[in-house]
Structure 1
């Protein structure tokens, strides 16, 4: 083989390698979020806590172009306790999926956020995260361990289908196998409409609580961006046996240059066997973007309880009917 032939062969190999690399990609990503926090649950406690603005996490995701518009995707993502660095025995409990994507939409298998959790998160101006998270009021009544709330946000052993992304109508179908464990079985879906500054969505989720009782959750609402202010609204009902709960959540965010102001009000009312229980949460927050990835933030949240003991964050033990409040100052960096 002469020098010219060798050069041409090497160039061909490099071209093939470059083509293969262009068709596949793997991304390492994550969030580190920590805040100095004060929680008053009848007695004050000071904390260094994580996930005030966004949940701290570490993840890997990738895609391979299979040709003809078909792609294979994977995504693994786990939580990090940034305050003490605890990631020993790291698991991928936030998400662990593999799937196929094309013009038909996307099919995924594994552990992932279900229609219940995704809809609730999108309709909460605080993203159902931190001291202002609205999801904590969803636990107005108790259910058996491993019951409805083990699948409130995420489900294991799931298969999902998402319609093609873009503007217009969209939908998701979702099912998770119980595999013999009460509380893991989930079936649900959602439909919505996305166009310009409007997002409107409706979701339904059903989780097995006991062998004879299911928790049924209906959630619907919308967001609309008026540029000067973005509005959020959500209404949700949950039925578990003889008990039921209604949730009303409204919120708004106001962009002011590099600063974003947020506010929300959430009211949870019990019905049926828990008709005497009620909770109200009011939250304020501000975020200042130092860059596209790094932000400073502060949040204040207060919960008024009636025959409940819901708290803005873990801390001292709260007596039923007492209020809970807290504030924090933090920094978040995403990569």
Structure 2
């Protein structure tokens, strides 16, 4: 009889665990991107190489949600960049392991979500959402001009809190703030916010960002860098058009103002799409003016829902420097 009771207790415990487990979902996911070709930025020598993450930075992640009842969910995500060409973790040797994202938070269909930890910035989301080459550090003029050129800070902020609203009548918003704790040379908190309106084929987004910490190398007398960006896209079916205009102002001993714009298109062709993007960044620093113009043209062909191959040509020009020309072919796989 005692043994029978023990079996009943064990069965009840297993049932409870099974019920608890069914209320939580955890997934493993990621992307590996490799390309080969001749790579050359303005003023630099040609590099013939096999390169990681030119169309999308390779990464791996874990994410999960738990249903807390009443429409409320707890969630987490841990995401790490990786270098498929060398097998190393992160984007560079001194990069944090979970630099892509490391968050925990709560989500409600009616109230929105709040996540704490290392969050992706609204400015990065808007920049990659409104250009034909998406989050490509290798080929997108917008990403290169903002995040490899004009901006201080990273695409993700540590020690931060991000609120994302539900969508009301096509409108949604987000707000991000970080504490700036322990950041050498910090002058205060980083703040950012965005407002989006999307209906039918039209989508627009206005984004604001101010950086006061998390800068790898501060310019002399640095106080803050403020960015505003206006984005729009329209999907006609036969083509999707993109447009961006932004302004980046850096307050330092020598103030810097950069104006940026980008236009582009994605045109469905067969099982893929033709991609075109042209961007310009005009930097005014004291009496000096430097203009950078980048044009990318490519074709991305879907082999399946998870795999695609692409070919891209990019021309990069910058004041007083020789022109750079890049041609690459690559393969991406999502899992």
For Structure 1 versus Structure 2, the TM-score category normalised by the shorter chain is 0.7 to 0.9
In the alignment, structure 1 segments of 5+ residues that lack a partner are 143-147, 308-320
Tell me which residue corresponds to 1:97: 103
SS for the counterpart of 2:312 is strand
Residue number in structure 1 paired with 2:276:
263
- C-alpha displacement of 1:22: 1.8
Note the residue ranges of structure 2 that are not aligned, 5 or more in a row: 213-217
SS of structure 1 residue aligned to 2:226: strand
SS of 1:21's equivalent in the other structure is helix
TM-score, normalised with respect to structure 2:
0.86
Query: 2 CA distance for matches of 1:96 and 1:263?
Result: 33
Q: Is the 1:300–1:328 Cα contact (8 Å) retained in structure 2?
A: yes
Q: Which of 207, 210, 226 does residue 206 from structure 1 map onto?
A: 210
1:325 corresponds to 2:325: yes
Counterpart in 2 of 1:129? 136
Q: Tell me, in whole angstroms, the C-alpha distance in 2 between the residues paired with 1:78 and 1:243.
A: 33
Asked if 1:279 is matched to 2:292, the reply is yes
Q: Distance in 1 between matches of 2:190 and 2:101?
A: 16
RMSD: 2.5
1:270 deviates by 2.0
2:196 equivalent to 1:192: yes
Distance 1:38 1:140, change over 3 A: closer
Distance 1:274 1:170, change over 3 A: farther
Partner residue, 2:156: 154
Match of 2:215 in 1: none
Match of residue 238, structure 1, among 227, 233, 248: 248
Match of 1:59 among 58, 61, 67: 61
Please state if 1:248 is matched with 2:261: yes
Which runs of at least 4 in structure 1 moved beyond 6 Å after TM superposition? 2-11, 139-142
Contact 2:112/2:166 (8 A) holds in 1? yes
8 Å Cα contact 2:56/2:135 also seen in 1: no
1:145 aligned partner: none
- 1:304 is matched with which residue? 317
Residue 86 of structure 2 aligns to a residue whose secondary structure is coil
- C-alpha deviations, 1:90-141, integer Å up to 9, x for none? 7100100000111210001011211111111111211131421222223797
Residue equivalent to 1:164? 166
Q: Is the 8 A contact 1:141 1:274 kept in 2?
A: no
What is the match of residue 173 of structure 1? 175
Give 1:238 deviation, angstroms.
0.6
Is the 2:265–2:275 Cα contact (8 Å) retained in structure 1? yes
TM-score normalised per structure 1: 0.86
CA distance in 2, matches of 1:167, 1:57: 34
How many residues matched?
Answer: 316
SS in 1 for 2:54: coil
